[in-house]
Structure 1
Amino acid sequence: MTEFNSTQLRNLALVGHGKSGKTSIAENCLFKCGATNRVGKTDDGTSILDYEPEEVKRKMTIDSSLASCEWQGYKINFIDTPGYPDFTGEVKSALTACESAIVVVSATSGIEVETDRAWKYAEELSLPRAIFINKMDREHADFYKVVEELRAHFGKGVVPIQIPIGSEASFQGVADLITMNTKVLIKNKDLIYEIPEYMKDEVDNARHMLMETCAEFNDELLEKYLEGEEITETEVAAALIEGIVNARIFPVLCGSATKGIGFRQLMNSIIEYMPTPYFRASMGINPKNNELIERRTEDGFSGYVFKTVVDQFIGRVSYLKILSGTLTENSSVYNSVSEKTERISTLYSACGKNQHAQKIAHAGDIVIITKLQSTKTGDTLCNEEEPIKYEPVTHPDSMFTMAIKADKKADEDKIGNALTRLVDEDPTLTIYKNTETGDLTISG
């Protein structure tokens, strides 16, 4: 994979309620940018993101998965997350590794329980958010009703930057409120046209809402708006970016994963409007004296392990968000939590179950490292001469507990090893011995 610096990176968590289409959106983006040669589908078991046997069997996302792709000279790291409350720990971990989130909402269902929960998690982290209204081709799809619901629930900062052309079975493209043109899918080709006359009023009303929202958070734009001066496309885009980065404006996009509509525009918008990790400053403590310290992207290397998978063949697979400096293959790093030195042999960029080796990764990138001996989820890796320790993510409390016992006495050790491996992968699981009953219990 090409080498990308911090300004060429975008990291986004796809969050939202189950069955809203998060995985399908990621699959469409991967196909549009050429990372895959077909659009995988969870329902028929061809998804490259939902590939674990349990996910294929249940036709749903259980583990968050990393999907990296190149688009217009940039690298986009999507983290596709589960939408069911049982796996909410995966959502919180993914959000800590990203600079922004895309909240996926169904055009037929609107806001659901996990939509609200994911929004609150992102809000706690002050993450910029965009909203993608999916399933615009479905019966009873209502873009404007959903936008109205979103604005009532999440505030006036929620504003469309594009509106649909057609709805339900006649949905065929989107009208861009910034560039003021339409993008329509005809015979599997994205074609660009001027706004048709019959959509003028609809577009004018939506653009008026966009102008008002941007002006509300930008004094210069507000002054021009009130005086009736012409506001250029560049000025609107600049005000929009400022509002998004400060988590005050939340742009709304739309499309259909089934029809493959809206995904070039989505990726272009990610590149143009969503924040780069370059300006991110990360706070941690110096493990030697517990003093608070700050790391910027250009400082010495440091990173945070936000996810671990234990593979039966290769052992631990660690997902690392690099917060500062650079990391290269065949190097050594220091784990400031376990106080051990780890050897990095190869770095990988991932597209679901497919991994691609890369020689170097810069601050802001998300990489996979295998066979770390003393590193688990929540640990910090850094240079030993410049130690830092980042605060691990706080996971929700376990609410469901069961006792576990082996059918045969000889299998007790095997069960113990298997449970240890599970806890390695999922920090929301806890295992302990019940002192009253003597049972081995697991909570999740």
Structure 2
Amino acid sequence: MAVRNPAAIRNVALAGIAGGGKTTLTERLLFTTGATTRMGTVEDGNTVSDWTKEEQDHHHSLRPSVIHFEHEGHLVNIVDTPGLSDFIGHAIASFPAVETVGIVIDAGRGVETTTRRLMQIAAERNLPRVIIINKIDEAQVNLEELTESIRERLGSACVPINLPAAGRESVINVFDSHDDNAATEFSSVEDAHTAIVEQVVEVDEALMEEYLEAGDPDALDKGKVHAAFEQALREGHLIPICYVSAKTGAGIDQLLHVFASLLPSPLEGNPRTFITEDGSEMQAEPDADKPTIAHVFSIASDPFVGKLGYFKIHQGTLKSKSEIHIGDQKKAIRISHVLRPQGKENAETDAMGPGEIGVIAKVDDVGFDSLLHQGHDLDGLHLKPLPLPK
């Protein structure tokens, strides 16, 4: 049974402070890609992400929510995570399900304690990061000063991959496709393009030599630059900065391009580390033909469907009506349906392969951090412990 090629999958967690606009951004992404026909709002309680009554009443995300859309030929899964300090553990628990963590910064509030903490934990988990500056439409915000503040507080690896256009009604690509004559809010396309290419080529000595000899970032082979870009993300040597307004839609097209075509796929990201029964470490391989390893990163309850277990497949294939083991339980359970989540709505699918995020329902033995696997050879296997709040 054919499953989606993991090379065509992107998984991103949106994390950051409460009120930073993560859920509104998620709505904008869904609407822009045609996954929805209208944008809901947090205030009206009709967003795809915040589907529980508690979230709608509080106007805040209280648990991770998974949505997906197609863009540039790739499936993009977004995990919209809560930002309230009491629920930040749910955001951190979602990190093993993705290859990239998108840190959303409110342009009017800048870098806060939660921002720094999430950045650090993502780095400790060896996860590529991207910074998303939201609410660039707020006229009183000095975006140049904010960008410099981010670089000072979060590190020089933070480099713009696009720039707000003059007037902030759109955003301009400065990396893999650029117009040096475009008018920008600050800096210039040429300077920003040079800066990010120089940051990227530093991880590849041969490419750096080519650049120094040519003296022109556009003279480099694009395939080599892209490979170095992925390496820089994996090594934490590059943290791209994107500019958007979820409210007006400015920058959404550029953000979608970054998500779908520039961020790492499950084949390109840093694989998660698992601990075997004897205490040794192993890394799952995103191969559909190998024994299934899927990790449950979130549990929810639906009044009509019952218990829901959200999982990421790190290896192998999970099929509807298949038998699977949970943890070190001796008896296998039967998975009636494998579902693809879209907020509250779950669409049945025959099978999911490595890199995909799904949900199973009405399986009482499934809990948070459960490992789903085939056979008894993987008994005792578990994800390397998470740095959850104490």
* TM-score normalised by length of structure 1: 0.80
Letter paired with 1:390: H
Q: Which residue of 2 aligns with 1:90?
A: 90
Deviation at 1:339?
3.6
- Cα distance, 1:285–1:105 mapped onto 2, change above 3 Å: closer
1:395 correspondence with 2:381 = no
Percent identity, aligned pairs only, is 28
- Cα distance, 1:219–1:308 mapped onto 2, change above 3 Å: same
| Counterparts of 1:281 and 1:95, CA distance in 2 | 12
Q: Show CA shifts across 1:128-166 (max 9, x none).
A: 001111101013122221211111112111100111013
1:382 correspondence with 2:379 = no
CA contact (8 A) 1:318 1:370 kept: yes
- Cα distance, 1:90–1:254 mapped onto 2, change above 3 Å: same
1:317 correspondence with 2:314 = no
| Counterparts of 1:268 and 1:286, CA distance in 2 | 38
Q: Which residue of 1 aligns with 2:274?
A: 284
| Structure showing greater Rg | 1
CA contact (8 A) 1:378 1:393 kept: no
| Counterparts of 1:127 and 1:328, CA distance in 2 | 28
Letter paired with 1:369: I
| Counterparts of 2:80 and 2:366, CA distance in 1 | 23
| Counterparts of 1:73 and 1:3, CA distance in 2 | 15
Q: Which residue of 2 aligns with 1:362?
A: 353
- Report matched runs for 1:84-163 at 5 Å: 84-163=84-163
Q: Which residue of 2 aligns with 1:328?
A: 319
1:215 correspondence with 2:207 = no
Q: Show CA shifts across 1:38-86 (max 9, x none).
A: 1221122221111222211221111110011122221111000111110
Letter paired with 1:344: I
Q: Which residue of 1 aligns with 2:343?
A: 352
Q: Show CA shifts across 1:290-331 (max 9, x none).
A: 554443122211111111113333332101111100111111
Q: CA RMSD in A?
A: 2.2
Letter paired with 1:284: F
Q: What secondary structure, in the 3-state scheme, does the structure 2 residue paired with 1:67 have?
A: strand
Letter paired with 1:231: P
Deviation at 1:202?
2.0
- Cα distance, 1:201–1:128 mapped onto 2, change above 3 Å: closer
Q: Which residue of 2 aligns with 1:206?
A: 192
Deviation at 1:341?
1.5
- Cα distance, 1:249–1:34 mapped onto 2, change above 3 Å: same
Deviation at 1:352?
0.9
Q: Which residue of 2 aligns with 1:251?
A: 240
Q: Which residue of 2 aligns with 1:440?
A: none
- Cα distance, 1:85–1:165 mapped onto 2, change above 3 Å: same
CA contact (8 A) 1:340 1:374 kept: no
Letter paired with 2:36: T
1:171 correspondence with 2:168 = yes
| Counterparts of 2:320 and 2:69, CA distance in 1 | 20
| Counterparts of 1:158 and 1:107, CA distance in 2 | 15
CA contact (8 A) 2:116 2:154 kept: no
CA contact (8 A) 1:128 1:244 kept: yes
Deviation at 1:120?
1.5
| Counterparts of 2:133 and 2:187, CA distance in 1 | 22
CA contact (8 A) 1:180 1:195 kept: no
* Equivalent position to 1:305, from 296, 303, 314: 296
Letter paired with 2:39: V
In the alignment, structure 1 segments of 5+ residues that lack a partner are: 183-193, 398-444
In the alignment, structure 2 segments of 5+ residues that lack a partner are: none
